[in-house]
């Protein structure tokens, strides 16, 4: 095939947090033991296969997407896809059971479908299209989740999953906590448990931008205030009042304390919202080049004043253009702690510039991944291994697990 | 702990035949990503944990053995065991379900316990002591297997498993095939399916030595002739006659063709043998140094004229003496194709010398491993991957698996 | 010493352009062969030892500087210097002959001292202080060179060499070519040999900024127009006229064509300038933190509107502060093709921002190195090796060298 | 060219004892930085180029030999020589001055030619053919040296250098010391300085075999007893008497104490021997396969009872046969401390077997290298670097060199 081993993008995965496997040299020891090259391990949820499984609408689609994985480049710079290795069929066979959703139940006996878990940082962070469609087919209401804040989770849910699966949500819930609003209002970690209406008022700017973003997509969200013991009425009412001024209902959700009972108010508000459902409006057009998609999200959705590209990112974009992947959807890889790419900029930052450090590609999943920071695909373990304190006695009684 | 990373003996394992992972350099990329060192992956059955599980008589014993794993050496050359890392408890927790035998049944409805599968080349090649004892407790007769020929399988079964588990078999079956005797009689691979009584007569020398070896251990074996379609009566009778001359019954076993029905003759012979059971006599004494154990096996059991040690083996033995492991039992790592360490020496070779290239240690499993050749702990895949021809259609129908 | 091998900054050097040695893993093969770690080779002129030799004023100073080399960090993050390894004495012995200047002569018999050649991209790009002082002691006029344009060469010559050696030049020559002014006036490479007074007029903005920069340092430069055959009188006079308007004399230098004879006009102008010598005025103050030095050069000397720092650069600066090297002089590592860090911005760019990607340190040479781009410390060879065409016959006659 | 990077045999060299460079992985960091592969550095005298320079009879021969260097193998297992890379011409140019002998003088004013120094362990251990022929052309007598004992030095001098250069020595001197004979007589290192005639008598067996070996080659050697202060007359006379019984003159050489004056007796004996010069008779025939050459040397020249080959050595010999290098001359790589491959077997061991661990090839130098032990091509440095104690003061006065 002429595959240049130095260009292989595909990494092995393992479900073990083993930092020493992040960067390795393999194929050493002579001609019987492979070709020497640099690579590394990721953990399983960071695998493009996970992202693909969740983006697939059928076994046929799964096979096509697996075949579309970009493996690397030939010495003549042309791309090699998994289909060129005749690997897609065997990969699909390995996934023949994995593609089927799993039905479980909640503590209160409600049915729940668990299916797929791609990382929210470098992938779409939401479950399979197949499971969502199965839920919609089986029940009056199907509720699903999108990982991280609405700047990442909701945006990717809409522009990636809903576009690929031809879905449109009847209602959207933005989850907030008084504690997080205090944080966005400038309160330090130590003081976050103390009531502070002033900080909540300041921090509301963050929630406000999330609500505006939902409205930008043509959605009318319900805000769920996830209740904590030290929330004060004053703080909660402040948030509800401000939401109301934006035309949005904010409901206290007491599921953690009271189970289904505590969620009834929220459920009623969501049902009401769903009855007024409107089709959503994408912010990004499919035909746009990747840069335009990035810049539109950066300025309109995150509030940045502009976007800078490192030379690596420029080169990556040029390479994607050369192999006709220059108009892929984008799956932004940005910190979940700020609208910006700086985790310390809380609230609703403005005037900042985003730096695109690199652009990776998940051609099988069907998106480009602009990298706006340092991302971990193989977590580490604590300095003192938790294993140290664990034991099991002769009767099988385990101690030391916390 | 002062552990010298260059001396770490412990390898990662993975259940995937990936030759490029045999020799790798890990921990690259800077201070956040571990310490650079050379290591590699083995496949799971080659892990010392598998050997330990099969040698353990209880959860307590398992924990002790896991703690005895030799991880490496400090910069001052003193050994570091898994217990020094406080890792044994957590490892035992991971094995809390694995330590329990699995009950399955044969096609004819007989109960069978499946439990443990250490490699026969570098480990003891036989199932767990716990499963064997469970079988003995639950039935009148418990039958188990020891991998490879009797020079390796039976010898390790007796000196490792029976010693550790305080077991003594009531009867022993040596399995032979007419085809293999033709091979040991000098017939080339292409002609092995053709009847050749002369070759069988010559090749019997190999079986004869295996029978003598059983007798050397105080056991009176039954020979099972595993029937093949092109065996001739002349050949079979020749083997039976020669066995009889050695005081041993040889029975044709037709299990492959006729199931339990075809095994009844063998079963009756084994029952008869079991009724005359004698305690076995070890060839090796526990207190002997490793060299004496190796040399006794080499000369008395394999028929060698002597043993040579490479400088690596000399150094390894000296190191084991220094850390008080100089009298461990031995688990010979030798080719299964010959009594010698040369796979091409068929029949009953004599006058050859064995070369010990290295001596490894499985301190948790409780044995030293004299290395008499090149051993594979991570198999490779064929030049053309089998995956190439596989596919699955939209209905989940798989093709291309053979 | 507790030196963390992953933090060792010191690279080996070799005088061979061998790209495969840029990034290597060493110390493999076991305990007898060093400690595994990642490192690489640079070529000799990129060694800090070369920079140190050129910055040293005496053998004592050389020893001190060699001892100040930052080798790496301990596991506890404290720095390890070459003096901690007791390596400075032996290194100084190796340099005992190298520290002595070499006297050679020009084709016309003038004495010339050749001594030291640090890279102009990552080091100071000018010869030894000892050689310069020897020249000043031996002759009425000592002329020396500073590599790259005046934005790099002259700036480093003044702020690094003159400060360290307590030198002040009596006169400064800025070398220009009509060809380069055409280039800065926007002419493409193919058309650079064609006279184009308009382009020269436009490109003069570049020379103007260099002259202004000299004046900013309190120096009154002479401009040498290095004559080329296709310079036109109109172009030359245009440059001379513009220089005159800035109060600077521009003289045509014909040394390439006419040797010493062709340089007499320039020599007379320099002598005249030297007779009106004024002490120079540093733009940077020694006590300033590194950021202030970088930003002052960026805005006042290069014409940038501001400076951005990557996270790597921020971390590197924090680390230098921690080890009390936060106020070192700076040795800018910037492209020589533009006042900016973008080689394509010709002429006199304005409004651009500089990005500091990293900050390295040459603690022995005595400066921090802000990295503003990709720098090559081990050049490569052409795709088809020049060696292919070379030969030598039996009489020692060489062919194939071009 | 299709060169498989994993098979490249050619290593870089450096004149620095840097053990961490013995085993390295290079070409890391991506497509701009070469191809990843495992390799290492040797020191310069271990380079095949040194061996080639010393085996060459002219510039033309040098070029041919450089072109014959075996660089590695293609993916299809065919060999790649330096000539296939068009590298021989450029390499020869680099050696155009090195090929010319250097004339120096001794303290007494005698001319001496210094030219070439290949390792005696893995190469021929003697100077260039060109220098030896120049010496023969310029003087009545030319004296040269062959490194290590006569089992290695003289054998290689004759079978490699004399065959390649069509030389035949007029006389041979075997150098012995009373001290070494005590050692071969079984005396421990501590007691070697004490007179011990009995040990000398026993140790003479070693010298006797060297003398016999010379006679086996058709040479009549003179023995030089290199005088030490604590030699006794009794010991010296014993050696002289025993030599006489073998028909060989043994002369005391006092060059170390008395210079040329002290060597006159030896010189007279050598002149007398040279006047009776006979052509030498090779022990090995050029057309023999490598195994026959090894086994003839082992049994007739070293006194071994036979030769064993590791699987690596068998494979290496098969590979040399495949590329038509199966009849190369051999350059034995054996310890210089014993006739056997075990450095501890002193005197004149018998009945031992030699183990050939591997067979390397220096196809340009023109010989195969049977490896009989562990050979160092990149020496290490002491645990405490000698550099630690070195210094130089401001006047250039060096201290700490011993």
Mean pLDDT of B88-100: 93
The mean pLDDT value of chain B amounts to 94
pLDDT at B7 > cutoff 70: yes
Q: In whole angstroms, what is the distance from residue D38 CA to residue D26 CA?
A: 6
With contact defined as beta carbons under 8 Å apart, do D62 and D92 qualify?
A: yes
First to last CA, chain C: 51
Three-class DSSP labels, A269-322: HHHHHHHCCCCCCCCCCCCCCHHHHHHHHHHHHHCCCEEEECHHHHHHHHHHHH
pLDDT at A363 > cutoff 70: yes
Chosen for mutation from C31, C39, C72 (greatest number of chain B CBs closer than 10 Å) is: C31
Task: Give the pLDDT of residue B339.
Answer: 97
% of residues, chain A, pLDDT over 70: 100
Q: In whole angstroms, what is the distance from residue B152 CA to residue B334 CA?
A: 8
In chain B, residues with a C-beta closer than 8 Å to the C-beta of D308 are 308
| pLDDT range class, residue A7, cuts 50, 70, 90 | very high
Of C28, C90, C390, which has the smallest distance from its Cβ to D90's Cβ?
C390
In chain D, residues with a C-beta closer than 8 Å to the C-beta of B308 are 308
Q: In whole angstroms, what is the distance from residue C194 CA to residue C235 CA?
A: 11
The phi, psi pair for C145, rounded to 5°, reads -125, 150
The pair of structure tokens assigned to A335 is 């910190």
Of B25, B311, B374, which has the smallest distance from its Cβ to D25's Cβ?
B25
Q: In whole angstroms, what is the distance from residue C145 CA to residue C112 CA?
A: 12
Q: In whole angstroms, what is the distance from residue D342 CA to residue C327 CA?
A: 62
With contact defined as beta carbons under 8 Å apart, do C254 and C263 qualify?
A: yes
In chain C, residues with a C-beta closer than 8 Å to the C-beta of B6 are 30-31, 35-36
The CA-based diameter of chain D, rounded to the nearest angstrom, is 72
Chain A contact present for C324, CB below 8 A: no
With contact defined as beta carbons under 8 Å apart, do A117 and A89 qualify?
A: no
Of A25, A311, A374, which has the smallest distance from its Cβ to C25's Cβ?
A25
With contact defined as beta carbons under 8 Å apart, do D27 and C20 qualify?
A: yes
Of A29, A395, A396, which has the smallest distance from its Cβ to B22's Cβ?
A29
Task: Give the pLDDT of residue C74.
Answer: 94
Task: Give the pLDDT of residue B402.
Answer: 67
Q: In whole angstroms, what is the distance from residue B279 CA to residue B281 CA?
A: 7
With contact defined as beta carbons under 8 Å apart, do C112 and C134 qualify?
A: no
**Torsion over CA of D244, D246, D247 and D250, rounded to 10 degrees?**
-50
ipTM value, please give it: 0.85
Q: In whole angstroms, what is the distance from residue B182 CA to residue B201 CA?
A: 8
- A258: Cβ–Cβ under 8 A, 6 or more apart, which residues? none
The pLDDT tens digits for B201-243 are 999 999 999 999 999 999 999 999 999 999 999 999 999 999 9
Q: b or e along C373-384 (b: 16 or more beta carbons within 10 Å of the residue's beta carbon)?
A: eebbbbeeeeee
CB atoms B311 and D374 under 8 Å: yes
Task: Give the Å distances, CA to CA, from C216 to C273, C277, D258.
Answer: 17, 15, 74
pLDDT at C143 > cutoff 90: yes
Around Cβ B133, how many Cβ atoms within 10 Å? Answer: 16
Give SS3 for D123. coil
Q: In whole angstroms, what is the distance from residue C130 CA to residue C50 CA?
A: 13
The pLDDT tens digits for C208-235 are 999 999 999 999 999 999 999 999 999 9
Task: Give the pLDDT of residue B312.
Answer: 87
The pLDDT tens digits for B356-397 are 999 999 999 999 999 998 777 778 877 787 888 888 888 889
% of residues, chain B, pLDDT over 70: 100
Mean pLDDT of B124-145: 96
Chain D contact present for C94, CB below 8 A: no
Chain A contact present for B306, CB below 8 A: no
Chain C contact present for A395, CB below 8 A: no
The helix (H) or strand (E) run that includes residue C250 is strand C250-253
In chain C, residues with a C-beta closer than 8 Å to the C-beta of D387 are 86-87, 89-91
CB atoms D6 and A37 under 8 Å: no
> What's the pTM?
0.88
- Chains in contact with D, where contact requires at least 3 CB pairs less than 8 Å apart: A, B, C
Chain B contact present for C7, CB below 8 A: yes
Strand ranges (DSSP E) for C101-249?
Answer: 102-105, 111-114, 173-176, 222-226
Q: In whole angstroms, what is the distance from residue A153 CA to residue C94 CA?
A: 62
DSSP characters for A28-52? -SSGGG---EEE-EE-GGGSHHHHH
Task: Give the Å distances, CA to CA, from B300 to B147, B212, B297, B367.
Answer: 21, 10, 5, 20
Chain A contact present for B5, CB below 8 A: no
| Closest residue on chain A to D35 (Cα) | A6
- Scanning the structure block, which residue is given the tokens 């010979």? B332
pLDDT at A218 > cutoff 80: yes
Of chain D residues 353-382, which have a CB less than 8 A from chain C?
Answer: 380
Q: Which of D72, D91, D92, D156 is nearest to D122 (CA)?
A: D156
| Closest residue on chain A to B19 (Cα) | A33
Mean pLDDT of C52-66: 96
Asked which of A132-136, C109-113, C139-143, D10-14 is least confident by mean pLDDT, the reply is: D10-14
Mean pLDDT of A203-207: 98
Mean per-residue pLDDT pooled into runs of 10, chain D (402 residues): 89 88 94 93 92 96 96 94 92 94 94 93 94 96 94 96 96 97 96 96 98 96 97 98 97 96 97 94 97 98 93 93 96 95 93 92 96 81 81 87 76
CB atoms B6 and C37 under 8 Å: no
The alpha carbon of residue D235 is apart from the nearest alpha carbon of chain C, in Å, by 42
| Closest residue on chain A to D28 (Cα) | A38
Query: What's chain C's length in residues?
Result: 402
CB atoms A19 and B33 under 8 Å: yes
How many Cβ pairs closer than 8 A exist between chain C and D?
A: 136
The pLDDT tens digits for B163-193 are 999 999 999 999 999 999 999 999 999 999 9
Chain B contact present for C23, CB below 8 A: no
The pLDDT tens digits for A284-297 are 999 999 999 999 99
Q: In whole angstroms, what is the distance from residue B315 CA to residue B361 CA?
A: 13
């Amino acid at each position: 095939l002429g595959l240049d081993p130095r260009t292989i993008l595909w990494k092995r995965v393992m479900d073990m947090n083993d930092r020493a496997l992040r960067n390795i040299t393999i194929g050493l020891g002579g001609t019987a033991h492979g070709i020497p090259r640099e690579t590394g391990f990721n953990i399983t949820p960071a695998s493009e296969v996970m992202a693909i499984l969740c983006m697939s609408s059928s076994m046929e689609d799964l096979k096509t997407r697996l075949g579309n994985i970009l493996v690397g480049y030939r010495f003549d710079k042309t791309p090699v896809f998994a289909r060129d290795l005749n690997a897609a069929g065997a990969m699909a066979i390995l996934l023949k059971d994995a593609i089927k959703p799993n039905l479980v139940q909640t503590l209160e006996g409600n049915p729940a479908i668990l299916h797929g878990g791609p990382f929210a940082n470098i992938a779409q962070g939401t479950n399979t299209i197949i499971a969502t469609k199965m839920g919609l087919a089986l029940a009056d209401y199907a509720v699903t989740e999108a990982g991280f804040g609405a700047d990442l989770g909701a945006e990717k849910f809409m522009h990636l999953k809903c576009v690929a699966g031809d879905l449109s949500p009847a209602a959207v819930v933005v989850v907030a906590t008084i504690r997080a609003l205090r944080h966005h209002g400038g309160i330090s970690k130590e003081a976050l448990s103390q009531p502070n209406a002033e900080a909540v008022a300041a921090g509301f700017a963050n929630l406000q931008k999330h609500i505006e973003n939902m409205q930008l997509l043509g959605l009318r969200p319900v805000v769920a205030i996830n209740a904590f013991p030290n929330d004060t009425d004053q703080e909660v009412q402040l948030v509800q009042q401000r939401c109301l001024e934006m035309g949005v209902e904010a409901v206290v959700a007491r599921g953690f304390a009271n189970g289904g009972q505590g969620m009834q108010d929220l459920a009623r508000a969501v049902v009401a919202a769903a009855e007024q459902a409107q089709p959503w409006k994408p912010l990004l057009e499919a035909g746009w080049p990747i840069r335009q998609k990035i810049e539109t999200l950066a300025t309109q959705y995150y509030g940045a004043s502009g976007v800078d590209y490192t030379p690596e990112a420029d080169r990556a974009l040029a390479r994607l253009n050369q192999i006709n992947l220059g108009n892929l959807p984008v799956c932004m890889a940005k910190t979940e702690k700020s609208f910006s790419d700086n985790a310390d900029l809380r609230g609703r930052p403005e005037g900042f510039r985003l730096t695109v450090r690199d652009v990776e590609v998940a051609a099988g999943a069907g998106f480009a991944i602009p990298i706006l920071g340092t991302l971990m695909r193989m977590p580490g373990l604590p300095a003192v291994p938790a294993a140290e304190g664990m034991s099991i006695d002769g009767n099988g009684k385990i101690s030391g697990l916390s």
